[in-house]
Chain A
Amino acid sequence: MAKSKLTVNGTAQEVDCDPATPLLYVLRNTLNLKGAKFGCGLEQCGACAVLVDGEPVLSCVRAVSEFDGQNITTVEGLSENGEPNAVQRAFIAESAAQCGYCTSGLVVATAALLKRNPQPSREDINEALADHLCRCGSHVRVLKAIDRLAAAGGSHDR
């Protein structure tokens, strides 16, 4: 057992666990943040994506000890006072989820993309979402949500 210090969704956390524990398990079990999902445990599907210091990172393999001192934002942390933020609202407006299991990861990846690049080309989007799988076929709606956000330009918080 060892202690790792993380800031998660703005709150400093000290977690005491096997330092090899993947970050995802700490988020879901220790911190009870169920937004990030276990999809493969192989960094192949994107369901577990979170933001680390603003950059999208897959959390299902890398050990919590690697993230010591870093700022983690999960999909829950994107919401503002419990209300959906601009990215989440765009996903709702475009019905960009069916079963919703991949959705957290896609919301997180979209938020990171648009912060970096408010007017992404289709190639930029493809690259940003290259690690993300969706099995219900909601891709078209996710692309529309991103278009909607890009069209709104920088006028929205992200």
Chain B
Amino acid sequence: MTASLEKQPNLDQWLAITGDGRVVVRSGKVDIGQRISTALAAIAAEELDVSLDRIAMATVETGVSPDEGVTSGSNSMQDSGQAIRLAGATARRYLINKAAAQLDVEPASLEIADGLIRSLDTNRSVTYWELQGDQPFEVPIDPEATVKAPGDYEEVGNPQTARGLADLVTGQPVFVHDMNPPGMLHARVIRPPHYHARLHALDESACERIETSGVRIVRDGSHLAVAGAEEYAVVKAAEQLAAAADWDMRGGLPTADIFDAMKTNERVSLPVADGIPRREPVPDLPDPPADAATTLTARYEKPYHMHGSLGPSAALAQTDGDKIHIWTHSQGIYVLREALAGGLGMAEEDLHIVHVPGAGCYGHNGADDVAVDAALVARALPGTPILLKWTREDEHAWEPYSTCMAMAVQASLDAEGNVVAWSQESYGDTFMMRPRNSPPGEGARRLLPLRYIENGAEDPVPQPAMRYHVGIHRNLDPLYKFPNPRLVKNLVRGLPLRTSALRTLGGFANVYAIECFLDELAEAADIDPVEFRLRNLDDDRAKACVQALADSLFKDSKPDNRGRGIGFAQYTNSKAYSAVGVELEVGDDAAIKLHRAVISVDAGQVVDPDGLIMQSEGGFIQAASWALHEEVKFDRDGVTSRDWDSYPILRFDNIPEIETILIDRPGDPYLGAGEAVSGPAGAAIANAVYDTTGLRLRRMPFTPEALRAAAMS
């Protein structure tokens, strides 16, 4: 049974039948463009035998929706999908039995079509809406409920149109940024130059001029904001107030090279076995075994990456007596509530948090922090709805990044090319800084604005994440059958930038390292890279995934000036399998031109095939952008990647043709797939560059400057 069902075991927590012919489905997972609501609706329609247009996906809000933690980790199909599947099956059986009693027939004689239950014996019928409209079920979900056989599926696995797509393409107001309740004020925050600066003084005359113009200044310690009815006046006031602020810089950011710092800074080092860190001493790197013919060593590195949501984060907040209502695009409304209640010393019931879509993010961007900014301003202006939006600069400079990482790998091959020793140590800061309030007090530390208010919280001190395949050690454990791999995670202290969860956590960097190093080993063993992977895998689904990719990628010969490379992983060694192949060219200008990508994915039973393909395509494109372009830059005075020129990302002119091969497994459990492609994609690009240039790129991003530097050395 999933955690979602254990926490919310009752059918009424997940499903309701309305009198007007709809099925309301409640999930705690939010749609962030990954089409989870489309897939969940298909599952509910399937198990209940109703048409898709009868399914209403409920708004996700605290106090009403099931608490499913955070929408993250590619868990939504395995958690919410499975819960709704069982809820639908439980409800269907309940309704059949109720109908049988009412119609005085045997349940087995009943059939259902779009919510109409009809007796084959008597031809009498009753609908779900007549039987159950607006009434609670008051029964638990049966974890053993008989679910529909895949052979009988009518919705699941069929092409679906994403819910809400028509509203997006016609510009309807669906985003939190678009909200406009009566009496609303627009608001902006004025951030310090960098994390450690605090407000020293404000120019009083400038403040007076701003307030005379009708814009309110809301200050709490070093937390500065402006609010007013006219948005552009607020934008200008924020600029004026920023100019009027005198900051105590308190030393600035550490400027040591981050890749050096990851070697020399204090760190917490833990051995990892079977995907779980152990509170044990780290074993020394042993000498190569006696049968080792070749031993290779390499260090792979990636810089800080940002989520770079296309729309800066925003939230609407309004007080109502002791309560605060917040509308937010947070991916975890319950954890935000817990952390903010703790941070503000409020009862959780006094915070009502509603999810409203924002710009896509795939991780922990500014969403939670801006909700707190809005709440602070709303508290200072009681009863007034406050729509607070971050600027592009706020989002670029203040979102929590994906940490820089380094992966030190060493492996030995025997004379036959078998891997006889494998060691990997991964280094980085935390990925685990989403809101929460355990231990008590942590809520204030994890919500950025609460560090700047009067008597604000200290910066949080990250502790090593200890669960299976999270944080730095996500996908540190190779799926390959290497003997006694030596695996170590190193949580490095004193790194300069604020970090938290971004799509795949450490998985992207670890798979990049593993899959590039595998190519290095295959070459040393003089074995084809595909063959080398197949030899070292014993999981048939993994092998099938690699083989499907290889069959397509290598079907035709490539032009001479292009290189091909592959990468493979099973996400967290327990979710979707994906292999990625890339065909690219390195131009005379040392720029990488992506021509073709092939992706194979095994995500178990496929529910929404187009949604799965889109997640795969999007995962590839984001990973390609990370690999080719992205690096958060900073100096002593703060982050210098403050717009799209100083933090370039992949554009339309370098989008390859992408072929996605879905390996459907009817009846098998759903395997989360939203993050499966990223790691293999990064490695495939590096391996393809090696294939065409002979340059082994061990540090991202693969810019023309990096390629030229590699060619020189």
Contact = CB atoms under 8 A, between A and B. Distances in A.
Interface in A43-96: 44-45, 47, 74-76, 78-79, 84, 88, 91-92, 95-96
Interface in B153-209: 161-162, 164-166, 168-175, 177-178, 180
Contacts of A34: 171-173, 175, 177-178
A141 B162 CA distance: 13
A37 B307 CA distance: 18
A25 B310 contact: no
Interface stretch (B215-223, B409-417, B612-620): B612-620
B652 A130 contact: yes
Nearest to A20: B232
A98 B651 contact: no
A47 B310 contact: yes
Contacts of A114: none
Nearest to B35: A98
A32 B171 CA distance: 11
Interface residues of B, number: 57
A141 to B, nearest CB: 7
A92 B622 contact: no
B231 A25 contact: yes
B165 A135 contact: no
Contact of A79 (B35, B170, B645): B170
Interface in B325-382: 357-362
Given A44-B644, A76-B170, A101-B175, A134 B180 contact: no
B171 A135 contact: no
B687 interface: no
A98 B651 CA distance: 16
B170 A32 contact: no
A84 B166 contact: yes
Contact of B621 (A21, A104, A140): A140
Contacts of A18: 230, 232-233
A97 interface: yes
A101 B610 contact: no
A37 to B, nearest CB: 6
Contact of A136 (B618, B644, B657): B618
Q: Is chain B's binding surface mostly helix, strand, loop or mixed?
A: loop
Nearest to B179: A34
A38 B359 CA distance: 11
B541 interface: no
A150 interface: no
A66 to B, nearest CB: 15
A18 to B, nearest CB: 6
A57 to B, nearest CB: 16
A133 B392 CA distance: 14
Given A18-B233, A92-B161, A126-B653, A97 B171 contact: no
Contacts of A25: 231-232
A138 B171 contact: no
A34 B170 CA distance: 10
Contacts of B35: 98
Contacts of B166: 84, 88, 92
A152 interface: no
A139 interface: yes
A88 B360 contact: no
Contacts of B168: 97, 100, 103
B653 A135 contact: no
A42 to B, nearest CB: 6
Interface in B227-241: 230-233
B179 to A, nearest CB: 9
Contacts of A132: 651-652
Contacts of B230: 17-18, 29
B523 to A, nearest CB: 31
B177 A38 contact: yes
B357 A95 contact: no
Contacts of B649: 133, 135
B311 A38 contact: yes
A151 interface: no
Contact of A91 (B169, B178, B391): B169
Contacts of B657: 140
A46 B164 CA distance: 22
A132 B653 CA distance: 11
A18 B213 CA distance: 13
Contacts of A101: 175, 309-311, 358-360
Contact of A139 (B171, B621, B644): B621
Contact of B652 (A32, A35, A99, A126): A126
Given A34-B178, A92-B161, A133 B644 contact: yes
A42 B622 contact: no
B643 A98 contact: no
A124 to B, nearest CB: 11
A79 B171 CA distance: 9
A129 interface: yes
B658 A140 contact: yes
B33 interface: yes
A41 interface: yes
B657 to A, nearest CB: 8
B308 interface: yes
B147 to A, nearest CB: 27
Contact of B33 (A22, A100, A143): A100
Interface in A104-150: 104, 107, 125-126, 129-130, 132-143
Q: For the complex of A and B, list the 5 residue pairs with the smallest distance between their C-beta atoms, beginning with the closest.
A: A35-B171, A137-B618, A99-B360, A137-B621, A100-B168
Interface of A: 17-18, 20-22, 25, 28-29, 32-42, 44-45, 47, 74-76, 78-79, 84, 88, 91-92, 95-104, 107, 125-126, 129-130, 132-143
16 contacts: A35-B172, A37-B177, A41-B392, A42-B644, A44-B392, A45-B644, A78-B170, A79-B170, A84-B169, A99-B310, A100-B165, A100-B169, A104-B171, A129-B652, A136-B362, A140-B657
